[in-house]
Amino acid sequence: MLTVYGRATSSNVQAVMWGAAELGLEVERLDYGHVYGGVDTPEFLAMNPNGRVPVLRDGELVLWESCAILRYLAARYGDGGAFWPADPVARAPVDQWAEWGKVTFAAAFIHPIFWPLVRKPARERDAVAVGRAIDEFIRLAGILEAQIGEGPWVMGEAFTLADIVCGHALYRWFTLDIDRPPAPGLEAYYARLTGRPAYRAHVMVDYAPLRHPEA
C-alpha cells in the first residue's frame, strides 16, 4: 500500500493523488498540514525535514517533493509508455514541460494569486501586486495554450505527466472570481481535464476551507 501524507486541499497533494490515480495505483491518503497539523512533529520531520506535504511512503522508501514523487511513481509503476516514456529522448520533452509546469506555471499562480485572494484577509492584499501577477499568469497561460494547440494534451495525442503538473492549477484558476480574457484553447483543454474521473476526484476539491474569513 502506498501512503501519501497530506490534506486533500493541498494543490501539490492533489497533483500526486491525480497522477497516482491515472496510473491505477491504490493510495492511502492521510490528512496532514493546515488545520490538521502534524507536520511539525519529530515523526513527520524525520520523513521530511521541511515540514511540508506531500510525503510518499512506499515500503521502506520515503519521498518528498511532489514532482519527484510523480516521477518515481511513473517510473516504477508506469508501463514505460507515453505517460512517462522509458526512452530518455522521448521522455525529455515531457520532463521539460512538467518542470515548467511546476517551477514556472503553477508557481506563478499559487503564491502570488491564489494565496492573496483566498488565504489572506483583504486588508493585507496588495491589489497592484496581485494584478501584475494575474497579467503574468495570463501570459504564461498563453504559452501553455500555444503548446497544446489542437492537442488534445500538452504533448499532443498522448496524456502525459506534463498534463498532471500543468493541469492541476487550472481548476483554481478557472473557478476564482477574477476577470480572465478569453482563451478558447485553454478553456477547451480544461474542459477535457474535467472529463477525467481522476481529475474530478482529486483536483476539483472545494477550497472553501482554505478561505480566510475576511478574504
Regarding whether 143 and 92 lie in a shared domain, the answer is yes
Asked whether the beta carbons of 66 and 54 are under 8 A apart, the reply is yes
Domain of residue 124: give its range: 88-206
CA distance 157 to 82: 9
pLDDT tens, residue order, the chain (215 aa): 899 999 999 999 999 999 999 999 999 999 999 999 999 999 999 999 999 999 999 999 999 999 999 999 999 999 999 999 999 999 999 999 999 999 999 999 999 999 999 999 999 999 999 999 999 999 999 999 999 999 999 999 999 999 999 999 999 999 999 999 999 999 999 999 999 999 999 999 999 999 999 99
Q: How many domains does the chain have?
A: 2
Residue 114: predicted pLDDT: 98
Are 139 and 186 a contacting pair, CB within 8 Å? Answer: no
Answer yes or no: are the C-beta atoms of 105 and 144 closer than 8 Å: yes
**23 within 8 A of 73, measured Cβ to Cβ:** yes
Is 131 part of a structural domain of the chain?
A: yes
Give the separation between CA 110 and CA 88, rounded to whole angstroms.
30
- Choosing from 77, 96, 118, the residue where a domain stops is 77
pTM: 0.97
Biggest alpha carbon distance in the chain? 51
What angle is formed at CA 121 by the lines to CA 141 and CA 50, rounded to 5 degrees?
Answer: 70
Give dist(CA 23, CA 101) in Å, integer: 19
CATH number, domain with residue 165: 1.20.1050.10
Integer CA distances (angstroms), 44 to 29, 34, 40, 41, 174, in order: 15, 14, 7, 5, 34
183 and 94, same structural domain? yes
Whole-number pLDDT of residue 1: 85
Domain boundary among 14, 44, 77: 77
Q: What angle do CA 183, 111, 152 make, to 5 degrees?
A: 30
Residue 100 burial by Cβ neighbours in a 10 Å radius (0-12, 13-18, 19+) = buried
Sequence-separated (6 or more) residues with CB below 8 Å from residue 62: 47, 48, 55, 56
* Strand residue runs (E) in the chain: 2-5, 27-30, 55-58, 61-64
The CATH number of whichever domain residue 71 belongs to comes to 3.40.30.10
196 with 112, same domain: the answer is yes
Res 142: pLDDT = 98
